[in-house]
Amino acid sequence: MTKLLKTRLAKEKPTGHDLVLVGCLEREAPETGGLPTPVAAAARRAAGRGGWSGKRGQTSTVQVGGKSPTTVVLRGLGRRARLDRRALKRWLGEATRVAAADGFRRPLLALPALQLTAGFSGALFLFRELALSGYRFDGFLKKPPGGRLRDIRVVAPPGDLAPYQDGWRAAGKVAEAIGFARDLANTPPNVATPEWMAEQARGLAAERGMEIEVLGTEELEKRGMGGILAVGGGSANPPRLVRLEWGSGDRSVSFVGKGVTFDTGGISIKPGANMDEMKFDKSGACAVLGIAQGAADLELPFRFRAYLPLAENMPDGRAYRPSDIVRCYNGKTVEVLNTDAEGRMILADALAWAAEEKPDDLVDFATLTGACVIALGQHGAGLFSHHDDLAADLLAAAGEANEYLWRLPLWPEFGEEMKGLHGDLQNIGVRWGGANSAAAFLSNFVRGARRWAHLDIAGPAYVGRGNKRAFGATGYGVGLTLAWLMTGAGRS
Ligand code: BES
Ligand code: MN
Ligand code: ZN
């Protein structure tokens, strides 16, 4: 299944490595305390060479002979004061890529003592990013390209090993959850139909002992879930609504994820350019399945529910059309003015069901609007919530998880725009502030939940084809949500 770089913690003075990669801060001596004596001496020799300063990306290489020869590579981390999570993540990616390209098989990584990588949360960050640096989606290639590392050992910093081991262990589960979300979102829409997504949820539920319910067309009709039925009506791949439940505890947390397996726009069809990217329009649902796997594997002490509305938005003789009036699960009617504003139509039913079950917290993830990408760029998601305390916790967790998240307003004027003429609501507002009006639309379906937050992940859910190396789903949202839940569980 998911392909990640396997990480391990090295024991004292580890031997048998063909490569020892030593991260070295600019204008500081290499820290070699945990390394075997000949390797440490070699690292000092490499640092003593003329021209070595340790600036970012600079390397200095020395061979150590003997029975099993070792290559020692010093790699500059730049200045301590300039080294943040993003810079270190990039450094790890480059370092492991070069090591793989050079054909090394048993690499060892030694880093200087850094605030960034200290304790539980530092280990969580370091090992999560290392593991994900090996992520590939190559299951559809006849012959996957070689030249990747399988595993890497890391020298543990001196001091209290217990929190470090805990962080390492948690990182493995978080990285697997993110990898799982990426695999699902990367799967093409001729395979990843609504029923296929439901099948993946069934697989997860069976493995993790979760309760699962999958509603098909008939059940959706019986329950009056007109939004999902309308959007899914134009596709030969019928819609589904998945509900998962697991865990126990006093606090209940529910998640909803937009699962449009492909968004053509429907009758309000999209232009052809980059339409292929709309396979990633299921990324919200994929993130929620990743969160479910991670929360279960980390044994987080809450009562969880997850809802995945799944539909394919296609133009067809049975497709819904502009001016249709659709009744949603909570009884509110929506006048459809644009069939490309389909995400909110399927979220309406799923949110209303989730809210009806009265969770403490309800959080939804959706690749909802191009407007959010215009506002924030592709690097981060928009956060909408009426609840300052929940918003603050999610923003803090995003920082912890190295994901960008920015709060945007839910002013009442946006809600006014979404009021309908012949229906209670209409599915589009005015041209401006499209991410905000979409969020305001959703707020009509969350009564019953104590707190609610909406994350518009249209920008950061995937990297486009312009960046060949990074192209594909990111699993955005899984890391920040698990960080939020771990803090709530007293672990961080
Ligand atoms: N899936 C799109 C939003 C999207 C855009 C996701 C870019 C990822 C990248 C969504 O269903 C959509 O089409 N939204 C419309 C809404 C409009 C019709 C009000 C949009 O953003 O143009
Ligand atoms: Mn759309
Ligand atoms: Zn969409």
Inform me whether the pLDDT recorded for 121 exceeds 70.
yes
DSSP for 33-54, please give it. Answer: TTS-HHHHHHHHHHHHSTT---
Q: What is the pLDDT of residues 239-271, one digit of tens each?
A: 999 999 999 999 999 999 999 999 999 999 999
Integer Cα distance of 296 and 246 in angstroms = 8
* Cβ(231) – ligand 1 distance below 6 Å: no
**Mean pLDDT value of segment 391-400:** 97
**Mean pLDDT value of segment 58-63:** 96
State the CATH number of the domain containing residue 446: 3.40.630.10
* Cβ(324) – ligand 1 distance below 6 Å: no
Percent of the chain with pLDDT over 90: 95
141 part of a folded domain: yes
116 part of a folded domain: yes
Q: Are residues 81 and 208 in the same domain?
A: no
Residue 46's identity, in one-letter code, is A
Q: Are residues 326 and 404 in the same domain?
A: yes
Residue owning tokens 């030249």: 147
Question: Looking at 106, 129, 149, which one is the last position of a domain?
Answer: 149
157: confidence class by pLDDT, cuts 50, 70, 90: confident
What pLDDT score does 68 carry?
79
What pLDDT score does 81 carry?
96
- What separation in Å is there between the alpha carbon of 264 and the centre of ligand 2? 7
Q: Are residues 143 and 184 in the same domain?
A: no
Q: Are residues 250 and 129 in the same domain?
A: no
Q: Is 311 in contact with 331 (CB distance < 8 Å)?
A: no
Q: Which domain holds residue 42?
A: 6-149
Integer Cα distance of 332 and 209 in angstroms = 35
492: confidence class by pLDDT, cuts 50, 70, 90: low
Phi and psi for 462 in degrees, rounded to 5?
Answer: -155, 160
What pLDDT score does 159 carry?
85
**Mean pLDDT value of segment 183-204:** 99
* Cβ(263) – ligand 1 distance below 6 Å: yes
Q: What residues contact residue 447 under an 8 Å CB cut-off, 6+ apart?
A: 330, 355
Ligand closest to the CA atom of residue 460: 1
Q: Are residues 142 and 199 in the same domain?
A: no
Inform me whether the pLDDT recorded for 2 exceeds 80.
no
Task: Catalogue the active-site residues.
Answer: 270, 344
State the CATH number of the domain containing residue 22: 3.40.220.10
- What separation in Å is there between the alpha carbon of 356 and the centre of ligand 1? 27
Give nearest CA residue, ligand 1 atom 8.
Answer: 458
Q: Is 197 in contact with 270 (CB distance < 8 Å)?
A: no
Q: Are residues 109 and 184 in the same domain?
A: no
Count the domains in the chain: 2
Best mutation site among 280, 281, 312, 369 for ligand 1 pocket (most ligand atoms within 8 Å of CB):
369
Q: Are residues 110 and 49 in the same domain?
A: yes
- Gyration radius of the chain's alpha carbons: 24
Q: Are residues 330 and 269 in the same domain?
A: yes
Token digits for 144? 């996957």
Q: Are residues 89 and 202 in the same domain?
A: no
What pLDDT score does 253 carry?
98
Cβ neighbour number for residue 471 with a 10 Å cutoff: 13
Integer Cα distance of 314 and 293 in angstroms = 30
Q: Angle at the Cα of 204 (from 201 to 175), degrees rounded to 5?
A: 110
155 part of a folded domain: no
147: confidence class by pLDDT, cuts 50, 70, 90: confident
**Mean pLDDT value of segment 77-100:** 97
Percent of the chain with pLDDT over 70: 99
Q: What is the pLDDT of residues 340-352, one digit of tens each?
A: 999 999 999 999 9
Integer Cα distance of 320 and 233 in angstroms = 7
Q: Is 263 in contact with 278 (CB distance < 8 Å)?
A: yes
Q: What is the pLDDT of residues 362-381, one digit of tens each?
A: 999 999 999 999 999 999 99
278: confidence class by pLDDT, cuts 50, 70, 90: very high
Q: Are residues 127 and 183 in the same domain?
A: no
Q: Are residues 117 and 212 in the same domain?
A: no
Q: Are residues 229 and 137 in the same domain?
A: no
Inform me whether the pLDDT recorded for 453 exceeds 60.
yes
332 part of a folded domain: yes
- What separation in Å is there between the alpha carbon of 344 and the centre of ligand 2? 9
Helix (H, G, I), strand (E, B) or coil at 292: helix
**Mean pLDDT value of segment 283-302:** 98
* Cβ(456) – ligand 1 distance below 6 Å: no
1: confidence class by pLDDT, cuts 50, 70, 90: low
168 part of a folded domain: no
159 part of a folded domain: no
Q: Which atom of ligand 1 has the smallest separation from the CA of 268? A: 18
254 part of a folded domain: yes
Mean of all residue pLDDT scores within the chain:
97
154 part of a folded domain: no
